[in-house]
Structure 1
Amino acid sequence: MTTVDLYSKAHCVQCTFQKKKLDLLGIPYVEHRIDQDPEALAVVQAAGFLQAPVVIAPGAFSWSGYSPDKSTALATHLKEQT
């Protein structure tokens, strides 16, 4: 399965929920901490996002904020790819 990029920060409740949802759905991800990594923050800002968490996945799946519906749609899309 394809690995997605999750951009998060410390003390972010939505980030914690998003990580738990990705884990629950079995979606592998690499976490990038925007509060510790200026390059990760630059990626998020260049993509036009203003809040954490940010999920960036192959195809048209990119969003900010905790989104269980988009996470489920992403899981379905990734399973169809395999």
Structure 2
Amino acid sequence: MVITVYSKPDCMQCKRTYRAFEARGRAYDVVDVTESDAALEYVKELGYLTAPVIVVSEHDHWGGFRPDQIDRVAAGGAGDDETVGA
């Protein structure tokens, strides 16, 4: 499972999300939406207007710092058949 955090510079919720994933031993990729028009358009298409946006799969994503969702993903509770977020 690839976890992608769509982020922006100086975003406190983004930093808290990174730390939470790291504390739970989960790897993640970071995409800065201020450096990629395609990434910004993608998160807007998902329905988000703020950072961070965390995407685990096509149907598993959410916005903001969400320890409950991070715990769920860290415990292995993520999949394409789950619809979470937006």
Q: What TM-score bracket applies, with the shorter chain setting the length? A: 0.7 to 0.9
Q: Deviations over 1:45-70 (max 9, x none)?
A: 11111110000002643100001111
Q: Secondary structure at the match of 1:63?
A: strand
Q: Report the aligned-residue RMSD.
A: 1.7
Question: Which blocks of at least 5 consecutive residues in structure 1 are unaligned?
Answer: none
Q: Secondary structure at the match of 1:77?
A: coil
Aligned to 1:27: 26
Query: In 2, distance between residues paired with 1:59 and 1:11?
Result: 27
Relative to the length of structure 1, the TM-score reads 0.86
Measured at CA, do residues 26 and 59 of structure 1 come closer, stay the same or move farther in structure 2, by a change above 3 Å?
farther
> Which gives a bigger RCO, structure 1 or 2 (Cα 8 Å, sep 6+)?
1
Question: Which blocks of at least 5 consecutive residues in structure 2 are unaligned?
Answer: 79-86
Query: In 2, distance between residues paired with 1:28 and 1:78?
Result: 15
Q: CA deviation at 1:78?
A: 5.5
Query: In 2, distance between residues paired with 1:26 and 1:57?
Result: 15
Q: Secondary structure at the match of 2:68?
A: helix
Aligned to 2:69: 70
How many residues in Structure 1 have an aligned counterpart in Structure 2? 78
Aligned to 2:84: none
The amino acid across from 2:57 in the alignment is P
Q: Deviations over 1:15-59 (max 9, x none)?
A: 000011111112111100001111110110111111100000026
Greater helix share, structure number: 1
Aligned to 1:10: 9
Indicate the percent of aligned positions where both proteins have the same amino acid: 27
